[in-house]
Structure 1
Amino acid sequence: MTMALQQAFAAELDAARDNWRQGRLDAAFTHLENAHVLGQRRLGWHFHVHLWMLRVGWVKRDSREVLGQLWRLFLTPFGHLTGRLPIGNTGGANVSAFKPMPVRKELEEVLREHSPLDR
């Protein structure tokens, strides 16, 4: 793992937390989606992002998001065990948990530095 990936992931989580504290839940969720793309190949990071997404969904009283995140928290370990993690998936309940998605250019630049085994 490169320091760039770790720093980019931490920056997205920090931005999500800052927005959370200021009550900007939609902005927080956008940063969590970015963190999900960056961290989905690391079980701990991946699980942590889904916990935060659940927290945001709970506060927004968004039952679809809460149920979607509970489902994803259940699926995450299995995805890691089987290696079936859809690259680029943003992790929210508004998209299929199994759907690969295009990676935003800024995030792709960070991810490109890693070997296929790191991603």
Structure 2
Amino acid sequence: MKFNIAIPTALKAHYYKEIESYRIALKEQNWSTAWQHLERSHIIGQSYPFEHSYSHWLMLIFGFKQKDFKEVAGQLIRLLVGGWKSFIDHVPVGNTGGSNVPPLKKMEIPADLKFILNQHN
């Protein structure tokens, strides 16, 4: 069994680029773009406990800001289980992390993110 603890440094840069893009879009009140960057951060970080949990934390906060209590409830559940599933490398690859998709559903990874993940895994 593989244990994931720390995200590779080069991959971490891509993860934090998505987080920064989320913050910029949030500041500009571009809600759909902000959410897309959170989904992308989730895809990049989902195999690593801290980054996976942090993406869900930001999704939870976003849900509160949008008064989307379905999202809030879904993120609370994901925060309880997401990190440890990352630690044991048992995540649904490509899942975007929002409450609008089943938590265990594997999804197609966008081509640019697939290229980045293949370079660093």
Shared fold, TM over 0.5: yes
Identity of aligned residues (%): 32
Q: Distance in 2 between matches of 1:83 and 1:109?
A: 20
The superposition leaves residues 31-84 of structure 1 with CA deviations (integer Å, 9 ceiling, x where unpaired) of: 000010001111111111111101111111111111110110011133134432
Count of equivalent residues:
114
**Normalized against structure 2, the TM-score is what?**
0.88
Equivalent residue of 1:113, what SS? helix
Return the offset for 1:6. 1.9
* Two-structure CA RMSD over aligned residues (Å): 1.3
**Normalized against structure 1, the TM-score is what?**
0.89
Q: Which runs of 4+ in 1 moved over 2 A?
A: 80-83
Q: Distance in 2 between matches of 1:77 and 1:7?
A: 20
The unaligned stretches of length 5 or more in structure 2 are 1-7
In the alignment, what sits opposite 1:20? 26
Equivalent residue of 2:116, what SS? helix
Q: Which amino acid aligns with 2:118?
A: R
Equivalent residue of 2:80, what SS? helix
Tell me whether 1:45 sits opposite 2:51 in the alignment: yes
Structure 1 residues 109, 53: CA separation in 2 closer, same or farther (over 3 Å shift)?
A: same
Q: Which amino acid aligns with 1:108?
A: K
